[in-house]
Amino acid sequence: MDIRPRDNASSWQQKAYRVIFESDTRAGQLFDIALLIAIVLSVVAVMLESVTSISARYGSILRAVEWVFTGLFLFEYLMRLLVVRRPLNYALSWLGIIDFLAIVPTLAALVLAGSRYLLVIRTLRLLRVFRIFKLGQFIGEGEFIISALRASRFKILVFLSSVVTLAVVVGTLMYVVEGGQNGFTSIPKSIYWAIVTMTTVGYGDISPVTVLGQTLASVLMILGYAIIAVPTGIVSAQMALPAGGRPSYKRVVCHVCQATDHRDDADFCWHCGEKL
Amino acid sequence: MDIRPRDNASSWQQKAYRVIFESDTRAGQLFDIALLIAIVLSVVAVMLESVTSISARYGSILRAVEWVFTGLFLFEYLMRLLVVRRPLNYALSWLGIIDFLAIVPTLAALVLAGSRYLLVIRTLRLLRVFRIFKLGQFIGEGEFIISALRASRFKILVFLSSVVTLAVVVGTLMYVVEGGQNGFTSIPKSIYWAIVTMTTVGYGDISPVTVLGQTLASVLMILGYAIIAVPTGIVSAQMALPAGGRPSYKRVVCHVCQATDHRDDADFCWHCGEKL
Amino acid sequence: MDIRPRDNASSWQQKAYRVIFESDTRAGQLFDIALLIAIVLSVVAVMLESVTSISARYGSILRAVEWVFTGLFLFEYLMRLLVVRRPLNYALSWLGIIDFLAIVPTLAALVLAGSRYLLVIRTLRLLRVFRIFKLGQFIGEGEFIISALRASRFKILVFLSSVVTLAVVVGTLMYVVEGGQNGFTSIPKSIYWAIVTMTTVGYGDISPVTVLGQTLASVLMILGYAIIAVPTGIVSAQMALPAGGRPSYKRVVCHVCQATDHRDDADFCWHCGEKL
Amino acid sequence: MDIRPRDNASSWQQKAYRVIFESDTRAGQLFDIALLIAIVLSVVAVMLESVTSISARYGSILRAVEWVFTGLFLFEYLMRLLVVRRPLNYALSWLGIIDFLAIVPTLAALVLAGSRYLLVIRTLRLLRVFRIFKLGQFIGEGEFIISALRASRFKILVFLSSVVTLAVVVGTLMYVVEGGQNGFTSIPKSIYWAIVTMTTVGYGDISPVTVLGQTLASVLMILGYAIIAVPTGIVSAQMALPAGGRPSYKRVVCHVCQATDHRDDADFCWHCGEKL
């Protein structure tokens, strides 16, 4: 996504760009935080309106709040389009689409009843919360977690495939063993049960009744309980690695000062500066 | 299992062998992926048929789909028998038996009503999903996980034995403490409850009612909660090891000073300097 | 908080200070343990009184016990005020406020009926249990855990934010998918459900009924199951570090070849051999 | 416990001692395995008898089996007393008491009806299962886990104290917030709920109903979910350590062959045998 200020940007556009899209200036940081607060408040308003008792008493206030935030977000959206280098690129990017969809429902509700429920899309704007992690202290931490997850993404994928395959096999088996009268009314539902069990969630809305079913369930539980060690091990091992991967030191010893532990690619001794 | 092409294989047999059994050619990879899609689709069809509402409306279509896939799998099975070096070896191998059992139920249903339920065995063919991990990126990752699990298999076995023993002891205790009127109707059922609790699944289909039972359950929960650290620690520690594994020391003992723990590549005793 | 003995402390005040506030003398340790036992007993008394059947039979005894402990704690509180250097500082510190609030309810109950329920604040005094970890063996262990958690606090914060954001987004989605008639009566309640599910608690008081809802729930469960690897990995990696922390590299850049990542104690560039 | 053969042991006593108490001979290993199978079978018999439907049909057979095993265990117990050096020491040791209690109930049932329920103590004999880990492959593995747990026992104790304290504080709070009509009928029951929640078991027999209660529960769940990282981290870090603790190598370099990585306590070079 090409998010840069316009080439022919007037002075106010460049300033606005730095405030809205970047967070390396004081104003930019304040904008980010203010936006975040606005998003959280608008989401809270949507939430509260979904509670029948609150909506009955404060419905009109909440709807007013909704209109205010929709206005603010509309203004912000138009500003973004005005100051960015390629407005279409922004509009079609993930964040751009979410920004747009967060405005539409309130307006659409004027025409089409019921469409206000789409306001839930506004919660996706909460993902902007992670922008704040670009500020200060959190830069390195967020990147650390993401890079560890990225480095182990294939291992985690293999793991998740195994979990899902096992859930399908055991779920199907349980459908045959327990049958519809014990809640295992169909194979998809039995697979749902298997996932509920393996992940140790265990709602109890469906649970095995027959002896064979309970035995099979016990095996699945113990498996699920032990299997959690795999992703945990993967991520732990990944995170325990130093930043640049496991360090490899040269086995060479400086012939002058006898110093060891030189970097793998070192050409000179770190201690006496002699050529290795 | 001796899965190699026949010695007296004609040209088409050798080609077919490479496509069906191996995945190092483009055609072989395409075959693997196509087979995988076919398996997933056939499993989905079996699943959907188990849903009463869907089966009522699309039953005939789903049954047709079932016959098509059974035909395809039968063809694939015969091809495998034709091109492999020792057909009997393949037929009696795990994968061979599963491949066979995935075809039988549809045919058997013609003669014997109800045997179509055996189609669930077809889900076992999903295990072939792991063949795809032999492709590209996933080779190392899958092997990494498996080798870490294999290296810690005895530790995990010891751990699982402890979990099961504890479940038996606590389950029996709970049977005496709570008794049949609170759902703990027999010792096996109480052990089932203990496993549900220790693994933190917690369906709630059976739960302690008496004060003593709830106290005992609390202890078991905290134990189960803390105990998960053991397999996790085992696998994490294993995975954190560098590729070459735990530093290996020579099993040799110095014949002079009886010192042990010599480096793997040591030629002299670190303690007395004697030649090993 | 300035917790030191008074400057113009008389001899008994200094002695009492050492006993009450410090734990490096035999008497001080005994006081800590006695206080701990008194706290635990008083909390147990409050607990037992909340059980209807026990309260009906032993109510008067328990109320007497409550008065005895309140008297003891009042005496202890006044002693603390008398011997500490700046009584106001102590009184306004966290521990001081808790100590005060642990006494008040019993007295307040004389005037105001129902205020005795505030006795639950007394359980907060249990936090003094961690003082005992200052004794002997536990010093290092407690500090080890706390320092590991402190070192990873930003990572854990980032992780928790992700969990909460995900819970909000999925919870809102489920509210739309399942709707009020299946228990998802409002967005906050749906978020509560999402947290119950992601953390693998799974009460089952609310559980998805529709196919789409169960599918979404399955994805959330598997995510929650895999995501636990993140905090575990963070803390494991932190704890696996040697006491001195992650190997520290000099932040200095070679002024000749611009190489970085020099050892902390390096005097010469590993790349060009120039003096750093 | 002084478990050695008698000083004045006759030849058969010494032989029997080696078979019964030790497992370094072929006969001793066979005895251990046979005993284990007998224990498992006797436990299975007790279990099956607790199932009403099985007990109704095969009650007499199961009772016969019980008598046979009681006879065997009695014989084994007497043999142990006969061949061990200090019979009283054995009889008063943990294993000795369990061995004794495993026999008593069947005999006591002749006199006292209902005492047969004490047979559950027999399951404790299952703990002998861990003896088998003394055989072959498992020696190191079991010791590895136990030594890792022992090394982190104080850390785990600190952790468990924190969990219990938190459960008490939150449980008491929930008692006040939710009150008896929502299932939180007493403080101990609320603490039980807090443990069920924190450990992510989540039966759902008691679950919060009020908004404040659900909010508080959500916080507790997320805490419990994140807190599991602590014991996991402790054990992982411990297990990642090499056998003798973190290895410390001498910083010294052999002045003859320039070899490095000498053991901390090495006096001679492992490579050329020169005095360091």
- Determine contact, residues B28/A163, Cβ cutoff 8 Å: no
- Determine contact, residues D161/C129, Cβ cutoff 8 Å: yes
Q: What is the mean pLDDT of chain A?
A: 80
Nearest to D38 by CA among D71, D10, D78: D71
Q: What is the mean pLDDT of residues D222-237?
A: 86
Share of residues in chain C with pLDDT > 90 (%): 13
Least Cα separation, residue A270 to chain D (angstroms): 16
Q: What pLDDT is attached to residue D208?
A: 92
- Determine contact, residues C84/C6, Cβ cutoff 8 Å: yes
- The verdict on a CB contact (< 8 Å) between C145 and D155 is yes
Q: What is the mean pLDDT of residues A38-45?
A: 88
* Helices and strands per DSSP (H, E), number in chain B: 11, 2
- The verdict on a CB contact (< 8 Å) between A268 and C263 is no
**Phi, psi for C251 (deg, rounded to 5):** -85, 5
Q: What is the mean pLDDT of chain D?
A: 79
Chains that touch B (3 or more CB pairs under 8 A): A, C, D
- Determine contact, residues A200/C226, Cβ cutoff 8 Å: no
Nearest to D174 by CA among C136, C123, A165: C123
Count contacts between A and C (CB, < 8 Å): 183
Q: What pLDDT is attached to residue A248?
A: 43
Lowest-confidence pick of A191-205, C157-171, C213-227: C157-171
Chains that touch A (3 or more CB pairs under 8 A): B, C, D
Contacts of C270 in chain A (CB under 8 A): 262-263, 265-270
Residue D149 corresponds to which amino acid? L
Q: Write out the DSSP string of chain C.
A: ----B-TT--HHHHHHHHHHH--SSHHHHHHHHHHHHHHHHHHHHHHHHHSHHHHHHHHHHHHHHHHHHHHHHHHHHHHHHHHBS-HHHHHHSHHHHHHHHTTHHHHHHHHSTTGGGGGGGGGGGGGGGGGGGGSTTHHHHHHHHHHHHHHTHHHHHHHHHHHHHHHHHHHHHHHHHH-GGGT--SHHHHHHHHHHHHTT----SS---SHHHHHHHHHHHHHHHHHTHHHHHHHHHHHHS-TT-SPPEE----TTT----EETT--B-TTT--B-
Nearest to D232 among A232, A251, A253 (CB): A232
Q: What pLDDT is attached to residue D215?
A: 93
Pairing between β-strand B249-250 and β-strand B262-263 as defined by DSSP bridges: antiparallel
Lowest-confidence pick of B1-10, B136-145, C170-179, D184-193: B1-10
Mark out the alpha helices in B84-228 (DSSP H runs).
Answer: 87-92, 94-101, 104-111, 138-151, 153-178, 187-198, 211-227
Q: What is the mean pLDDT of residues C223-233?
A: 86
Q: What pLDDT is attached to residue C29?
A: 81
Least Cα separation, residue D80 to chain A (angstroms): 36
Least Cα separation, residue B200 to chain A (angstroms): 6
Tokens of B173: 């205790």
Q: What pLDDT is attached to residue A91?
A: 87
- The verdict on a CB contact (< 8 Å) between B149 and A230 is yes
When comparing pLDDT for D116 and D189, which is higher? D189
Q: What pLDDT is attached to residue A138?
A: 63
C-alpha distance from residue C235 to each of A17, A224, B223, C157, D121 (Å): 39, 22, 20, 13, 40
Q: Is the pLDDT of residue C243 over 60?
A: no
Lowest-confidence pick of B192-196, D90-94, D240-244: D240-244
* Residue C106 pLDDT level (bands cut at 50, 70, 90): confident
Q: What is the mean pLDDT of residues B213-236?
A: 89
- Determine contact, residues D41/D122, Cβ cutoff 8 Å: no
Mark out the alpha helices in A102-137 (DSSP H runs).
Answer: 104-111
Give the other-Cβ count within 10 Å of C118's Cβ: 17
- The verdict on a CB contact (< 8 Å) between D235 and B240 is no
- Determine contact, residues C232/A235, Cβ cutoff 8 Å: yes
Q: What pLDDT is attached to residue C50?
A: 85
Q: What is the dihedral of CA D246, D252, D253, D254, to 10 degrees?
A: -110
- The verdict on a CB contact (< 8 Å) between A270 and C266 is yes
- The verdict on a CB contact (< 8 Å) between A50 and C262 is no
Nearest-by-CA chain B residue for C240: B237
* Residue D164 pLDDT level (bands cut at 50, 70, 90): confident
- Determine contact, residues D206/D183, Cβ cutoff 8 Å: yes
Q: What pLDDT is attached to residue D196?
A: 93
Can you name the residues that pair with A5 across neighbouring β-strands?
Answer: A84
Tokens of B216: 């005992």
When comparing pLDDT for D176 and C141, which is higher? D176
* Residue C266 pLDDT level (bands cut at 50, 70, 90): low
Q: What is the mean pLDDT of chain C?
A: 79
When comparing pLDDT for D131 and C112, which is higher? C112
The contact set of C with B (CB < 8 A) is 200-204, 232, 236, 240
* Residue D50 pLDDT level (bands cut at 50, 70, 90): confident
**Rounded CA separation C154/A142 (Å):** 9
Q: Is the pLDDT of residue B233 over 80?
A: yes
Q: Is the pLDDT of residue B244 over 70?
A: no
pLDDT in tens, A119-143: 677 777 777 766 665 555 566 677 7
Tokens of A162: 């195994």
Residue C82 corresponds to which amino acid? L
Best mutation target among C62, C234, C235, C246 (most D Cβ atoms within 10 Å) is: C235
Return all residues near A125 (Cβ < 8 A) that are at least 6 apart: A39, A42, A43, A73, A98, A99, A102
Q: What pLDDT is attached to residue C131?
A: 63
- The verdict on a CB contact (< 8 Å) between B230 and D235 is yes
Q: What is the mean pLDDT of residues A70-77?
A: 91
Under DSSP, the state recorded for D250 is E
Contacts of C202 in chain B (CB under 8 A): 201-202
Contacts of C201 in chain B (CB under 8 A): 202
Length of chain A equals: 276
Q: Is the pLDDT of residue C265 over 70?
A: no
pLDDT in tens, C112-147: 766 666 667 777 777 776 666 555 556 667 777 888
Q: What pLDDT is attached to residue D244?
A: 43
Tokens 């709830």, residue located: B214
When comparing pLDDT for A241 and B99, which is higher? B99
Nearest to D159 among C145, C202, C231 (CB): C145
Q: Is the pLDDT of residue A188 over 50?
A: yes
Helix, strand, coil percentages in chain A from 3-state DSSP, rounded to 5: 70, 0, 30
**Rounded CA separation C134/C131 (Å):** 5
When comparing pLDDT for C199 and D162, which is higher? C199
Residue A114 corresponds to which amino acid? G
Best mutation target among A50, A210, A253 (most D Cβ atoms within 10 Å) is: A253
pLDDT in tens, B15-63: 888 888 777 788 888 888 888 888 888 888 888 888 888 889 998 998 8
Contacts of D146 in chain B (CB under 8 A): none
Tell me which range, B257-261, C65-69, C90-94, D138-142, is most confidently predicted by mean pLDDT. Answer: C65-69
* Residue D143 pLDDT level (bands cut at 50, 70, 90): confident
* Residue D197 pLDDT level (bands cut at 50, 70, 90): very high
* Residue A1 pLDDT level (bands cut at 50, 70, 90): very low
State the sign of the Cα–Cα–Cα–Cα dihedral B264, B265, B268, B270. Answer: negative
Nearest-by-CA chain D residue for A250: D260
Nearest to D192 among B158, B214, B225 (CB): B214
pLDDT in tens, C44-55: 888 888 888 888
Q: What is the mean pLDDT of residues B141-158?
A: 80
Contacts by C14-23, CB closer than 8 A, 24 or more apart: C14/C83, C16/C79, C16/C82, C16/C83, C17/C83, C17/C84, C20/C76, C20/C79, C20/C80, C20/C83, C21/C80, C21/C83, C21/C84, C23/C131, C23/C134, C23/C135
ipTM of the prediction? 0.78
When comparing pLDDT for C272 and B106, which is higher? B106
Nearest to A46 by CA among C181, C165, C186: C186
Can you name the residues that pair with D84 across neighbouring β-strands?
Answer: D5
Specify the 3-state DSSP secondary structure of A112: coil
**Rounded CA separation A46/A59 (Å):** 11
* Residue D182 pLDDT level (bands cut at 50, 70, 90): confident
Count contacts between A and B (CB, < 8 Å): 138
Q: Is the pLDDT of residue A225 over 90?
A: no
Contacts of D200 in chain C (CB under 8 A): 199-202
Lowest-confidence pick of B20-24, D1-5, D271-275: D1-5
- Up-side HSE of residue A78: CA atoms within 13 Å toward CB? 5
**Rounded CA separation D239/B237 (Å):** 6
Pairing between β-strand C249-250 and β-strand C262-263 as defined by DSSP bridges: antiparallel
Q: What pLDDT is attached to residue A109?
A: 74
Tokens 């007037």, residue located: A10
Q: What pLDDT is attached to residue D190?
A: 92
Best mutation target among D253, D261, D271 (most A Cβ atoms within 10 Å) is: D253
**Phi, psi for B28 (deg, rounded to 5):** -65, -40
Q: What pLDDT is attached to residue C228?
A: 85
Under DSSP, the state recorded for B116 is G
**Rounded CA separation A20/C199 (Å):** 36
C-alpha distance from residue B117 to each of A167, A172, B47, B121 (Å): 18, 10, 11, 9
Q: What pLDDT is attached to residue D78?
A: 92
Tokens of C108: 């307040």
What end-to-end distance do the CA atoms of chain B give, in Å? 43
Nearest to A243 by CA among C158, C260, B142, B140: C260
**Rounded CA separation D17/D22 (Å):** 7
The contact set of D with A (CB < 8 A) is 200-204, 232, 236, 240, 251, 253, 258, 260
Q: What pLDDT is attached to residue A115?
A: 61
Q: What is the mean pLDDT of residues A137-155?
A: 76
Share of residues in chain D with pLDDT > 90 (%): 13
* Residue B248 pLDDT level (bands cut at 50, 70, 90): very low
When comparing pLDDT for B7 and C94, which is higher? C94
Q: What pLDDT is attached to residue C244?
A: 42
Least Cα separation, residue B12 to chain A (angstroms): 34
* Helices and strands per DSSP (H, E), number in chain A: 11, 0
Q: What is the mean pLDDT of residues D239-260?
A: 57
Chains that touch D (3 or more CB pairs under 8 A): A, B, C
Q: What pLDDT is attached to residue B196?
A: 93
pLDDT in tens, D85-113: 888 888 888 888 888 888 888 777 777 76
Q: Is the pLDDT of residue A244 over 50?
A: no
- The verdict on a CB contact (< 8 Å) between A253 and D260 is yes
Tokens of C90: 């102590």
Alpha-carbon Rg for chain A, nearest whole angstrom, is 28
Q: What pLDDT is attached to residue D6?
A: 65
Specify the 3-state DSSP secondary structure of A178: helix
- The verdict on a CB contact (< 8 Å) between C201 and D197 is yes
**Phi, psi for B46 (deg, rounded to 5):** -60, -45
* Residue C246 pLDDT level (bands cut at 50, 70, 90): very low
**Rounded CA separation B212/B189 (Å):** 18
